[in-house]
Amino acid sequence: MESDKAFLCSIGQKVSRTNDEIMKRATLFRKYPELSKRYFAKKIKWNSDRHIFRRRLDYDEVLHLTGIWAASLNLLPPFTQHQLDHYVSAKIPGSRNILQKGYSSFKSRKMVTIRSQQCGENVYVRAYVHKSYSNMITRRAVVKFIHGVPSSSCCTCLVGKSVLCSHVIAIFFQLIYIAKNGSALLEQQCTDLPMRWHKHTRKSCILMQPITDIQEYMEIKKWTKLG
């Protein structure tokens, strides 16, 4: 069984389902090796036609960049909703959920900074994005563009170490927003929020009373309950 799984992995086939199905699948591809060749040719053509974003960016490549990460929005590569639709249309497992999480992270201003660096024909876009349920932990996501087309990405989250994650999708939504509005929708600092010290809260609406009156009220309430 392990040899069948290793064989299926070597030709890019899935190794899920029951043991009988795995054995039948391995036997089929061993008997007809041209099927695997046809599968790879079809996959390569399908990916090239749709510009499918599937490759993982080696993080060592990002660490060896010696240039300056520029904060100017004009240096960011243009990105459109049409390009994003192509990526989402690919049958990537959980693509719809990733799209929703990425848009939620962008819309709720979870992105702290977004910067870019050009290295020859390649442009690297780096962003720091907060986790969806906590602002204490920040994920670092990087997208590599070649001739204006994203080719690979990586992220410090568990998902981003192997496949496309929601933090990278948030970068795409940010680039679309920048292309349309000329500004970025980043995290709001405390000084950017409206002042609240002069607004009445629920606690400030409670009338101040002496402690003796409160104690008398609690005693009356206690004896009322006792009947």
Q: In what order do the strands lie in the sheet with 55-56?
A: 55-56, 149-155, 134-146, 122-131, 111-119
Domain boundaries, the chain: 2-50, 55-181
Alpha-carbon span 78 to 149, nearest angstrom: 9
Where are the strands (E) in the chain, listed by range? 55-56, 111-119, 122-131, 134-146, 149-155
- pLDDT score of 169 more than 60: yes
Tell me, what DSSP letter sits at residue 70? B
Confidence band, pLDDT 50/70/90 cuts, at residue 225 = low
User: For the chain, how are helix, strand and coil distributed in percent, rounded to 5?
Assistant: 45, 20, 35
Condensed to tens digits (0 to 9), the pLDDT of residues 54-81 reads: 567 887 888 888 889 998 998 898 888 8
Report pLDDT for 172: 92
Query: Bridge partners of 122?
Result: 119, 146
Report pLDDT for 6: 80
Structural element, H or E, at residue 176: helix 166-181
Residue with tokens 């929005």: 73
- pLDDT score of 178 more than 70: yes
The two beta strands, 149-155 and 55-56, are parallel
Alpha-carbon span 148 to 121, nearest angstrom: 9
Average pLDDT over residues 182-198: 72
Alpha-carbon span 88 to 223, nearest angstrom: 66
Condensed to tens digits (0 to 9), the pLDDT of residues 105-159 reads: 899 889 999 999 998 888 999 999 998 777 778 899 999 988 888 888 888 888 7
- pLDDT score of 197 more than 50: yes
- pLDDT score of 91 more than 50: no
Check: pTM over 0.75? Answer yes or no: no
